[in-house]
Amino acid sequence: MESKKTETTNFIRNIIDEGLKTNKHEGRVHTRFPPEPNGYLHIGHAKSICLNFGIARDYNGLCNLRFDDTNPIKEDPEFVQSIQNDIKWLGFDWEDRLYHASDYFDQMYEYAIQLVKEGKAYVCSLSEKEIREYRGTVKEPGKESLYRNRSIEENLDLLERMKNGEFEDGTHTLRAKIDMAASNMLMRDPLIYRIRRKRHHRTGGKWNIYPMYDFAHCLEDSIERITHSLCSIEFENNRPLYDWFLNALDVYHPQQIEFARLNLNYTVMSKRKLLELVNESFVSGWDDPRLPTICGLKRRGYTPEAIRTFSDRIGLAKRQSLVDMALLEHTIREDLNKSAPRVMAVLRPLKVIIDNYPEDLVEEMDAVNNPEDASAGTRKVPFSKIIYIEKNDFMEDAPKKFYRLTPGREVRLRYAYFIKCEYAVKDDNGDFTELHCTYDPETKGGSAPDGRKVKATLHWVSAKHSIKAEVRLYSHLLSVPDPGLENKDFKECLNPNSMQVLKDCKLEPGLANSKPGERFQFERQGYFCVDSKDSKHESLVFNRTVTLRDEWARLQKKKNI
């Protein structure tokens, strides 16, 4: 009997398997996750992190964390820290292999000198504008720089002086001597070093020149003896250059493989757009629960497990795609369904008076903490004459399919009694202010000895025992699935109702001791977690992670359409 597990398979793993068969990298598998510390990580990075660390794990290999810190004007130690936090939170460990591109600056400089000595690189003194002009266009070849044929001695001298800070920013660059007529624009004498007389967060004032991505990245991979250098598809054009540098220098040569980056509908993923939302205060910060950042998802209540599962389920390929947010929501529901304690919370309270219930009686009802996990046990929930139920669990003129409370109908209060609605009280605006019901003492616990059934079970909270809390309901950041399809700026597509704040929610008393980050299922509503920033013991704030699937809501929606 074979138990066939659905194993993760994708084109990159196939390539690795092939290489292993031919002993391509001495049987090693060594990957790396190489973020630039210039922003916060988002779910797209999580895909790459899970890929790289996941492959290392599955092939008994290693995965390095490496900061690609070659551009001091964009980078900041704040990001270095946040990135490490997020990766750890996701559940991955680089052990002692935390590296920085800046660790290799000396070595890179030596390699640059080697290129110059071999006539493969030269110092160019064209201005930024001239370099652009000389590069040509996508359809026309470029022309060679006037400085392309300087002597090796002059190049060496100039490079040394660039390094020493003798020249202003932008006055000279070091360039690879390749081919100004190449059809691949990146091969038209790409820049290797540019002058940037700026302090670096790790090397301080030591350097006045910093290496460009194409030169630096392949060497970082080579120095760390990476076997498979996985990057996103937009670097496909860079691969010939990656290979060119490593061949020119005749050093260890990792294999670059490109894959498609993640796009998710109803949200934005680019660093630029996220930065815009943060800077222009459309959201409260990088960890706003509406954002697809790792820290935003964490604050929203997502678990690392769910994000890892999501990364596995979306698969991996080279074609550009737009993954349905519903899949992400599915993975968090799946995880939380197994683990989250159930609890009763009334978000939009409607007072219910049980006329035939004794005035001062309080009963402690037994409630199951998690029907999916018997070991979670039970708890006591106080019940009394005045309770709150959800406003939308009552309708005066109910349609056929509505089987919650309506005048004359009997429903079950979860873990308590059957109650029957006798009449509703309205205020001058026509809004219901309270319901008068009667209960059947024989139905304690929620079942009738005579075997009669009810169609609905409602959650509730005892008025005098309840605690008050603020609850923030989140929905999609954008009101359209793909802002790229709309003919407008993505900010015009922001969902104006992406956050709804309810200030007067009533929770069962046990929740008073809940801790920041703690997750619950509010029965019949969704999964919620205690906000890690704004929640205080005396004024609790909950974030809705995701709603429960809701058949009734679906029916209503269908009718309205």
Partner RNA sequence: UGGGCCGUCGUCAAGUGGUAAGACACAUGGUUUUGGUCCAUGUAUUCGGGGGUUCGAAUCCUCCCGGCCCAACCA
Going by C-alpha positions, the residue among 337, 339, 338, 328 that lies closest to residue 306 is 328
Instruction: Name the 3-class secondary structure at 198.
Output: coil
Interacting positions 193-232 with RNA (CB under 7 A): 194-196, 210, 212-214, 216-217
Minimum CB distance to RNA smaller for 357 or for 415 = 415
Residues 402-461 that bind RNA (CB under 7 A): 402-404, 412, 414-415, 445-447, 456-457
Name the CA dihedral angle for 276, 277, 279, 283, rounded to a multiple of 10 degrees.
Answer: 180
Q: Which of 156, 251, 327, 502 binds RNA (CB under 7 A)?
A: 327
Burial of 467-487, coded b for 16+ CB within 10 Å and e otherwise, reads bebbbbbbebbbbbbebeeee
Measured from the CB atom, the residue of 21 and 558 that comes closer to RNA is: 558
Using the minimum distance from each CB to RNA, give the nearer residue, 13 or 491. 13
Q: Measure the CA dihedral 47/48/52/55, to 10°.
A: 30
CB of residue 82 to RNA, shortest distance in Å: 16
- CA 443, distance to chain mean position in Å, is 46
Contact call for residue 276 and RNA (CB under 7 A)? no
* 36 binds RNA, rule: CB under 7 A: yes
To RNA, the closest distance from the beta carbon of 290 in angstroms equals 20
Using rule CB under 7 A, residue 480 touches RNA: no
* Beta bridge partner(s), residue 390: 349
- Rounded to the nearest whole angstrom, what is the least distance from the CB of residue 429 to RNA in the complex? 25
Q: Is 320 in the site for RNA (CB under 7 A)?
A: yes
Binding segment toward RNA, per CB under 7 A, in 91-99, 122-130, 149-157, 427-435: 122-130
Among 81, 107, 127, 356, contact with RNA (rule: CB under 7 A): 127
- Asked if 549 touches RNA (CB under 7 A), the answer is yes
Q: Is 330 in the site for RNA (CB under 7 A)?
A: yes
Is residue 36 among the annotated active site residues?
Answer: yes
Per-residue CA distances from 56 to 32, 59, 214, 435, 444 (Å): 9, 5, 24, 61, 56
| 271 included as an active-site residue | yes
Describe the strand order of the beta sheet including 191-195 as a list of residue ranges: 121-124, 173-176, 191-195, 209-211
Per CB under 7 A, which region of 50-58, 298-306, 400-408, 509-517 contacts RNA? 400-408
Tell me, residue by residue from 37 to 66, as one string, x for binding to RNA by CB under 7 A and - for no binding. Answer: ------------------------------
In 3D space, the residue among 71, 39, 64 whose CA is nearest the CA of residue 278 turns out to be: 39
Answer positive or negative: Cα dihedral of 37, 42, 47, 50.
Answer: positive
Q: How near is the Cβ of 124 to RNA at its closest, in Å?
A: 8
What is the C-alpha separation between 107 and 246, in angstroms, rounded? 14
Q: What is the DSSP letter of 541?
A: E
By CB under 7 A, what part of segment 134-153 binds RNA? Answer: 135, 137-139
Could you say whether residue 177 binds RNA (CB under 7 A)? Answer: no
β partners of residue 396: none
CB nearer to RNA: give 314 or 437: 314
- Interface with RNA (CB under 7 A), residue from 234, 355, 431, 492: 234
306 binds RNA (CB under 7 A): no
Provide CB contacts within 8 A for 260, sequence distance 6+. 232, 233, 316, 317, 318, 319, 320, 321
Helix ranges restricted to H, 145-206: 152-164
Q: How far is the CB of 453 from RNA (least distance, A)?
A: 8
Distance in Å, CB of 438 to RNA, minimum = 18
Does the protein bind RNA through residue 548 (CB under 7 A)? yes
Find out whether 423 and 436 touch, Cβ atoms under 8 Å.
yes
Residue pair 45/15 in contact by the 8 Å Cβ criterion: no
| Residue 371 sits in the site that holds RNA (CB under 7 A) | yes
Number of residues located near RNA, criterion CB under 7 A: 91
- Please, which residue, 74 or 464, has the CB nearer to RNA? 74
Which range of residues in 76-84, 87-95, 102-110, 318-326 is near RNA by CB under 7 A? Answer: 318-326
Report strand pairing: 228-232 vs 255-259: parallel
* One residue of 114, 321, 339, 438 binding RNA per CB under 7 A: 321
Query: Would you call 261 a catalytic residue per the annotation?
Result: yes
* Alpha-carbon gap, residue 134 to 131, rounded angstroms: 5
> Of 13, 28, 36, 276, which one is the catalytic site residue?
36
In whole angstroms, what is the distance from residue 35 CA to residue 74 CA? 13
The catalytic position among 271, 348, 391, 491 is 271
Taking CB under 7 A as the criterion, the residue among 81, 164, 171, 356 binding RNA is 171
Give the three-state DSSP class for 63: strand
CA dist., res. 257 & res. 376, Å (int): 46
The residue (of 56 and 316) whose beta carbon lies closer to RNA is: 316
The dihedral built from the CA positions of residue 378, 380, 381 and 385, taken in this order, carries a sign that is positive
> For residues 27 and 20, what is the distance between their CA atoms, to the nearest angstrom?
5
Q: For RNA, which is the closer residue by CB, 236 or 539?
A: 236
Of 104-112, 466-474, 493-501, 552-560, which part binds RNA (CB under 7 A)?
A: 552-560
Residues between 516 and 545 that touch RNA (CB under 7 A): 521, 523-524
Q: Which is nearer to RNA, 355 or 372 (CB)?
A: 372
Q: Does 71 bind RNA (CB under 7 A)?
A: yes
Residues tagged active-site: 36, 261, 271
